[in-house]
A and B are shown apart, each in its own frame.
Chain A
Amino acid sequence: DAKTTQPNSMESNEEEPVHLPCNHSTISGTDYIHWYRQLPSQGPEYVIHGLTSNVNNRMASLAIAEDRKSSTLILHRATLRDAAVYYCILRRGGSNYKLTFGKGTLLTVNP
């Protein structure tokens, strides 16, 4: 499995945008970029995924570098509820649904 690298922790203020980076220099052409987050005492929650183009949904935006070796999860206005561990995951295309989690980035949101 291709590996991802994320900062161990980041801090943000409430109602400000947050940019969570992820490096994946060994990504292959069929790897999808997935983001999940895990709130305290809960199971992981899907945030967003993409392949080559930038993606937007109600929760966040995903910006993918042109060479696909890095990506950034963007939370447009952080709330206290966004405090969680954020995981950047590469998932091989096809019927491979295995998610390989790293340690993720612990996001702290200050009021």
Chain B
Amino acid sequence: DAGVTQSPTHLIKTRGQQVTLRCSPKSGHDTVSWYQQALGQGPQFIFQYYEEEERQRGNFPDRFSGHQFPNYSSELNVNALLLGDSALYLCASRIQGPPGEQFFGPGTRLTVL
């Protein structure tokens, strides 16, 4: 079992550009969440997808959008990049249902210049 995988591992963009990050959940998982982790901080919840719909959203602007595909994989899109968007972006997956663990991927390190 490959666990949660994310691509790319590192990415460098310039201000104003757009970026797409990808996530494949752990086998058997149907719910995907995205988090942003700035340097020295804990991860911050961006949004969660289940059944190809956004189910919950954190305090992030509309520049952050996502998508979930029928195979449960997910994309995070960020438009009009700002310097402050530089962070580690983490994807987490789980099975919809009773409380339990979420599995996190290794993250994508985004640097905005």
Asked if B101 contacts A99 (CB within 8 A), the reply is: no
Q: Considering the complex, give the chain B residue whose CB is closest to the CB of A85.
A: B42
The 8 Å CB contact of B31, one of A97, A100, A102, A104, is A97
Q: Which of A63-103 contact B (CB under 8 A)?
A: 85, 87, 91, 93, 95-103
Q: Which of B41, B45, B103, B107 contacts A99 (CB 8 A)?
A: B45
Which of A32, A85, A98, A104 is within 8 Å of B56, CB to CB?
A98
CB distance from B30 to the nearest CB of A (A): 11
Interface of A is mostly: loop
Complex Cα spacing A49 to B4, Å: 20
Contact B56 A96 (CB under 8 A): yes
Tell me which residues across on chain B come within 8 A of A46, comparing CB atoms.
Answer: 101-103
Q: What's the Cα separation between A103 and B41 when bound, in Å?
A: 6
Q: Roughly how many angstroms separate A93 CA and B99 CA in the complex, as a whole number?
A: 7
Q: How many residues of A contact B (CB 8 A)?
A: 23
A44 within 8 A of partner (CB):
yes
Question: Closest CB of chain A to B89's CB: distance in Å?
Answer: 10
Q: Which residues of A contact B31 (CB under 8 A)?
A: 97
Interchain CB contact (< 8 A) of A91 among B44, B55, B90, B99: B99
B43, B56, B104, B107: the one contacting A97 at CB < 8 Å is: B56
Smallest CB separation, A90 vs chain B (Å): 11
The reply to whether B58 and A43 contact each other, CB–CB distance below 8 Å, is no
Bound form: Cα–Cα A49–B102 in Å:
11
C-alpha gap A95/B33 in the complex (Å): 13
List of A residues within 8 angstroms of B106 by Cβ: 41-43
- Binary per-residue interface labels of chain B (48-69) against chain A in the complex, 1 for a CB within 8 Å, 0 otherwise: 1000000110100000000000
In Å, the complex CA distance between A102 and B107 comes to 18
A45 at the interface (CB under 8 A from B): yes
Residues of A within 8 Å of B45, CB to CB, are: 98-100
The 6 tightest CB contacts between A and B, nearest first, are A101-B42, A43-B104, A46-B101, A98-B45, A44-B104, A101-B43
Residues of chain B whose beta carbon lies under 8 Å from any beta carbon of chain A: 4, 31, 33, 35, 41-45, 48, 55-56, 58, 90, 92, 94, 96, 99-107
